[in-house]
Chain A
Amino acid sequence: MSDAAAHVVILGAGHAGGTAVALLRQYGHTGPITLIGDEPIPPYQRPPLSKAWLKGEADADSLALKPLEFYAENNVDFRPNVTATALDRAAKTVALSSGDTVSYDVLILATGARAIALPIPGADLSGILFLRTAAHAEALKATVGPGKTLAVVGGGYIGLEVAASGRALGAEVVVIERETRLLARVAAEPLSTFFKGYHETHGVRFELGASVTGFTGQDGRVTGVTLADGRTLPCDAAVVGVGAHPNDELAKAAGLETARGVVVDLDARTSDPAIFAIGDVAHRPMPIYDRMFRMESVPNALEQAKQAACAITGRPRPPGECPWQWSDQFDLKLQIAGYAFDADSVILRGEPATAKFAIFHLKGDQVQSVEAINSPPEFMMGKILILNRKPVDKARLADPSISMKEVAA
């Protein structure tokens, strides 16, 4: 269905949408491209918002995927501050908040996900923040600093990154988590324990197994977080990081198949052949695990942008990837490859006390996933082992004196 002159309309000017634009042009698509985004700025990277950018180590220019001029120079009609409000698949048109309608030959849904709000009293006080957009990050940066107390609700990766950056900026930080351990849904127990200890050493306080029941405020501004046990923890600002919800409402209303997001195939194509869905909004097949799921990571956004751009320009489908992501906290680099679905054993390689170790999850003698702290060889080789499903000797894997290359040989 390759048609180099087709009008491609992309809804959502984030990491996936912005990458799709760049790849379509790299792959020789010559037809018009329209990129619609509800944020005021061109596509940018979100990971630094909780890391380098928050600490003041990266500026707005370095966040942007491409400079603003790129879009006009490449015949891309980029429309910021515009929300897509409805999709008419029969007419192949999209209605916009500006009152305009655009017609498409090919449509890419790249609307991402949004931060979930807590439905509790006081949630609309000022000073209660989310961290999804550059505007959110600006608001957060303006409120953290020496003498301020920041409450982080949710002990996931973004919450922990914000906690680490908050400490680097001199703020007091308390992390409140409903589960009895950090990263409960996404990481192995030894990793949770390690992160807790490392953060505590750097002055972060934790309230685990604690439910937030409300926020207290004065003159419309948050002053504390109330817990189920009746205590109120004072704070000057609170960041709520309890997960994200896919922006799949347009797709649902238009009758596209959805599950935990918009259902797509290996080309990132939805149940309508003229419509693709990529990035955080997509519920996609992952052949190495033989199942479908929705991921929230940059590598996933890039991979699916590539799948869609290949399909649209008639290129062969990219080879299957091993999903991965990373997180930076203090001087720790965490790299995660794969997912621990169906894993039946856990192998620790290295000593957590040295802040250099890796946790492998295996199904039988095949690696399903690896969480590597300051350990690039374990991560890089782990990725290869997950993809090629080569059996490994568990005893050798657990022995850091045997190099990863030898373990995998």
Chain B
Amino acid sequence: MAKVTYIQHDGTETVIDVKTGLTVMEGAVKNNIPGIDADCGGACACATCHVYVKQEWLEKTGTKSAMEESMLDFAEGVEPNSRLACQIKMSDALDGLVVNLPESQH
């Protein structure tokens, strides 16, 4: 288990214990946290699991694949700390991770 804090666009914070091996997207969806749609269930095909990773965690979440990079390129409101939450697998090293959710996933 590793803790992830999800911060909604309106500032609401939810802290979830996510099983290691699951993704940051799965942690949100399985706990019915609004703001991550994840239409494709993690196939890196939809870009509706867009999150902003708190700066100090960015490096630990690893590098983006070419596929993720080019999907993100077309998401709305993309920033240098944007990631697709389905491409970040939870590990002990990510215990305490904080992600902000965009206003909408389209």
Contact = CB atoms under 8 A, between A and B. Distances in A.
Dominant SS at the A interface?
helix
Contact of B32 (A45, A66, A381, A384): A66
A377 to B, nearest CB: 6
A381 B26 CA distance: 26
A22 B32 contact: yes
B22 interface: yes
B73 A377 contact: yes
Interface residues of B, number: 23
Contacts of A25: 32
B43 A326 contact: yes
Interface in A325-343: 326, 328, 333, 335
B62 interface: no
Interface residues on A, range: 20 to 34
B21 to A, nearest CB: 9
A302 B48 CA distance: 12
Contacts of B71: 376, 380
Given A376-B70, A377-B74, A380-B74, A47 B41 contact: yes
B39 interface: yes
Given A22-B32, A26-B32, A380-B47, A299 B70 contact: no
A298 interface: yes
Contact of A62 (B22, B44, B47): B22
Nearest to B22: A62
Given A302-B37, A333-B67, A47 B73 contact: no
A287 interface: no
Interface string B30-59: 111010010111111111000000000000
A51 B45 CA distance: 14
B62 to A, nearest CB: 18
A352 to B, nearest CB: 19
Interface in A316-362: 324, 326, 328, 333, 335
A298 B41 contact: yes
Contacts of A324: 46
A184 B47 CA distance: 29
Nearest to A73: B32
A156 interface: no
A299 B71 CA distance: 17
Nearest to B38: A302
Interface in A34-55: 45, 47-48, 51
Contact of A47 (B22, B31, B43, B44): B43
Contact of B39 (A298, A328, A333, A384): A298
Q: Lowest 8 CB-CB distances: which A-B pairs, in order?
A: A380-B74, A326-B45, A376-B70, A376-B71, A45-B41, A26-B34, A22-B32, A299-B39
Interface of A: 22, 25-26, 45, 47-48, 51, 61-62, 64-67, 70, 74, 298-299, 302, 324, 326, 328, 333, 335, 374, 376-377, 380-381, 384
Given A302-B39, A377-B70, A380-B47, 6 more contacts: A22-B32, A47-B43, A62-B22, A66-B30, A376-B73, A380-B71
6 contacts: A25-B32, A26-B32, A47-B43, A62-B26, A335-B45, A380-B71
